[in-house]
A = this chain, B = another copy of it.
């Protein structure tokens, strides 16, 4: 981040500056933003703006860089910085112009369709990415941009099936934010991890994090890597599960098990279990194979504790050493004490 911003010239300088106390760090989710994995957002980075039209709030996320050696997985080589610079100077301005011609993109409609096309919106986003490309392509070609620039933009999206993730995440966040601060509500409004801790927020105690140790992901590794290389669970992408998609909608995306491990039967079971700890079934997001049942939505921290069922989370795995990047993907268990502590705090706050 500091290298990309030009605030440091070398890794050593960047570390010294970061440790100097002169840089203020703050969690994305305290700023209506969400960032996958390391979740780095710096001032120059362009962001998606997702507006919840019903409640008027907005949520934000940077553009997805792709898989492998990327900043959010802890890589920061020249190749990574060059890509970020290109995203800032060419990709984002061109997409912005295309969206201005197109008008706002209806994320709800795209997520509805993607769930009928084998995506779950967290670690499988091939359909959503495809839908964004076909939606924007007719407008991209109408821009006064060079062919080469348009081809780079379309190729970048085509080669990155996670492109849509950075759209589902702020969509999920924008849906959850209006529930923050509802008196007495035990609904979980935020979940996130920073690689050290896992934290949750509940609607009845706006802005208060309940944290526990981040877990180790149980999953499939890229060739040459194994669980010894894995950093603990990290990133805001669990906001998708919090809103009722991602791991909660795995039944819609059985092919995901080739990426995160397990069997299609597991994917069905995970979604079915999540109905046990949620209050509602989504009216729009449907799972065809479950006879178009709505996705399990609105996690109730009381139910998590009563039933002893933790929210299911699928996630990418970063290398524990900086500079290497993504090493796999899998499933992770959140620490149970977050939910216990949140419920206890709710009881204390509302029984005075």
Please state if B154 and A138 are interface contacts (CB–CB under 8 Å): yes
From A67-75, A139-147, A274-282, give the one contacting chain B.
Answer: A139-147
Query: Taking the complex as formed, is A263 at the interface, i.e. its CB lies under 8 A from any CB of chain B?
Result: yes
Q: Which of A48-64 contact B (CB under 8 A)?
A: none
The 3 closest A-B pairs by CB, nearest first: A130-B130, A254-B288, A116-B255
Task: For residue A167, give the distance in angstroms from its CB to the closest CB of chain B.
Answer: 16
Q: What are the residues of chain B within 8 A of A288 when measuring CB–CB?
A: 118, 254-255, 257, 264
Q: Which of A102-123 contact B (CB under 8 A)?
A: 113, 116-119
Query: Taking the complex as formed, is A133 at the interface, i.e. its CB lies under 8 A from any CB of chain B?
Result: yes
Task: For residue A110, give the distance in angstroms from its CB to the closest CB of chain B.
Answer: 11
Q: Give the size range of A's interface with the partner.
A: 35 or more
Query: Taking the complex as formed, is A332 at the interface, i.e. its CB lies under 8 A from any CB of chain B?
Result: no
Question: Which of A131, A141, A154, A290 lies at the interface centre, i.e. has the most chain B CB atoms within 10 A of its CB?
Answer: A141
Please state if A157 and B134 are interface contacts (CB–CB under 8 Å): yes
Task: For residue A291, give the distance in angstroms from its CB to the closest CB of chain B.
Answer: 6
Query: Taking the complex as formed, is A150 at the interface, i.e. its CB lies under 8 A from any CB of chain B?
Result: yes
Q: Which of A218-272 contact B (CB under 8 A)?
A: 254-255, 257, 263-265
Per-position binary interface string of chain A over residues 124-160, scored 1 when its CB falls under 8 Å from any chain B CB and 0 otherwise: 0011011101110111111100011011001101100
Query: Taking the complex as formed, is A289 at the interface, i.e. its CB lies under 8 A from any CB of chain B?
Result: yes
Query: Taking the complex as formed, is A86 at the interface, i.e. its CB lies under 8 A from any CB of chain B?
Result: no
Residue of B nearest to A119 (CB): B117
Query: Taking the complex as formed, is A292 at the interface, i.e. its CB lies under 8 A from any CB of chain B?
Result: yes
Task: For residue A310, give the distance in angstroms from its CB to the closest CB of chain B.
Answer: 25
Q: What are the residues of chain B within 8 A of A134 when measuring CB–CB?
A: 129-130, 133-134, 154, 157-158
Q: What are the residues of chain B within 8 A of A151 when measuring CB–CB?
A: 138-139, 141-142
Q: Which of B117, B129, B157 contacts A126 (CB 8 A)?
A: B117
Q: What are the residues of chain B within 8 A of A140 when measuring CB–CB?
A: 137, 141
Q: How far apart are the CA atoms of A130 and B117 in the complex, in Å?
A: 11
Report A's interface with B, CB cutoff 8 A.
Answer: 113, 116-119, 126-127, 129-131, 133-135, 137-143, 147-148, 150-151, 154-155, 157-158, 254-255, 257, 263-265, 288-292
12 contacts between A and B (CB under 8 A): A116-B118, A117-B126, A117-B127, A117-B255, A129-B134, A133-B133, A134-B134, A137-B137, A138-B154, A139-B151, A143-B147, A264-B290
**Copies of this chain in its oligomeric complex:** 2
Q: What are the residues of chain B within 8 A of A139 when measuring CB–CB?
A: 151
Q: What are the residues of chain B within 8 A of A289 when measuring CB–CB?
A: 254, 264, 289
Q: How far apart are the CA atoms of A265 and B291 in the complex, in Å?
A: 8
Q: How far apart are the CA atoms of A172 and B278 in the complex, in Å?
A: 44
Task: For residue A293, give the distance in angstroms from its CB to the closest CB of chain B.
Answer: 10
Task: For residue A184, give the distance in angstroms from its CB to the closest CB of chain B.
Answer: 38
Task: For residue A198, give the distance in angstroms from its CB to the closest CB of chain B.
Answer: 30
Question: Which of A118, A127, A135 lies at the interface centre, i.e. has the most chain B CB atoms within 10 A of its CB?
Answer: A118
Task: For residue A303, give the distance in angstroms from its CB to the closest CB of chain B.
Answer: 27
Q: Which of B133, B141, B264 contacts A150 (CB 8 A)?
A: B141
Q: What are the residues of chain B within 8 A of A255 when measuring CB–CB?
A: 116-117, 288
Q: How far apart are the CA atoms of A140 and B127 in the complex, in Å?
A: 21
Q: Beyond the given A117-B118, A134-B134, A255-B288, please list 12 additional residue pairs across the A-B interface where CB-CB is below 8 A.
A: A127-B130, A130-B134, A133-B133, A135-B158, A137-B140, A138-B154, A139-B151, A141-B154, A257-B288, A263-B291, A264-B292, A265-B291
